[in-house]
Amino acid sequence: MSHLLHLDASARNISVSRDLSRAFAEVWRAAHPEGRYTYRDLAADPVPHIGQPWTELCDYVLAHGITDIARYREAVRTPAQQEAWATLAPLLGELTAADVVLIGTPMYNFSIPSALKAWLDQVTFPKMSLAGRRFVVTGARGGAYGPGTPREPFDHQERYLRDFFAGHFGVEDVTFVHAELTNARVDPGLAHLRERQAASLAAARSRVLAEAER
C-alpha cells in the first residue's frame, strides 16, 4: 500500500509552497484511494532542535555499526536519551513508513527554513538508507534562481536538499518544482515582473499535478 508523508515548512499560513504541496497531495490521494496519508506542519508544530542526548544516540549507532533503522532503539540507555528518543521515534517512524515524501518549503535567505532543518537533523543518522523512496519538493522563491539567472549560484535550497537526500539518505528519485519571483506580488519595485511570476506559478502548478499522477 502506498504511503505519502506530507510536510510543510513555510512560516506563512497561506503560501505558495503550501498551495503547491496541497495540490500534489490532493491529486495523489485521489489517485491512491487505498493509500495512507500522513501530514505534519513543521511551522505550526515545530520539531525540537537536537541536543546532547540525541548526539549520544547518534554516537552509539555509529560506534556499534548499526545501520538497521529498526535497531536504533538499542542506543537508548539513559532517561535523557529516552526523552530524546520519544521525540524522534514518531518522526522516524513516519519517514520510514512512507514510500513518497512530499515537502513544501520556501527559500529563506538562500536556503531552507530552520523548521525543516530541525526535522532533517532529528531523522538523520549515520549510514542510514532510504533508497527506493521518492522525494518531491514543492518550492517557492522570492526571486529568480533558475539556471542561467544571476542568482543561480545563491541557490542553497535545492542544491542543499538534493545533496542531502542523495548523500545521507541514498535517494535518487528526487523531483523539485519551484515557483519563482513570489516577492513580485507584494514588492512595488518588482511589479514589472508580475507576469513572469504568474507564468512561473502556473507552470509549477501544471507540473505538480503531472508529478502527482506518477
**H or E, element range at 33:** none
Report whether 13 belongs to an annotated binding site. no
Q: Which amino acid is at 134?
A: R
Judge whether 35 and 29 are in contact, CB under 8 Å.
yes
Q: Tell the burial category of 214 from Cβ atoms under 10 Å away from its Cβ (0-12, 13-18, 19+).
A: exposed
**Cα–Cα distance measured from residue 145 to residue 150, given in angstroms and rounded to the nearest whole number:** 7
Q: Which amino acid is at 56?
A: E
Judge whether 208 and 139 are in contact, CB under 8 Å.
no
Report whether 15 belongs to an annotated binding site. yes
Set of cell numbers at residue 128: 542510514
**Cα–Cα distance measured from residue 37 to residue 205, given in angstroms and rounded to the nearest whole number:** 21
Mapped onto helix, strand or coil, the DSSP state of residue 106 is strand
Report whether 16 belongs to an annotated binding site. yes
Judge whether 42 and 12 are in contact, CB under 8 Å.
no
Report whether 128 belongs to an annotated binding site. no
**Cα–Cα distance measured from residue 177 to residue 179, given in angstroms and rounded to the nearest whole number:** 7
Report whether 114 belongs to an annotated binding site. no
Annotated binding site: 10, 15-17, 107-110
Annotated binding site for FMN: 10, 15-17, 107-110
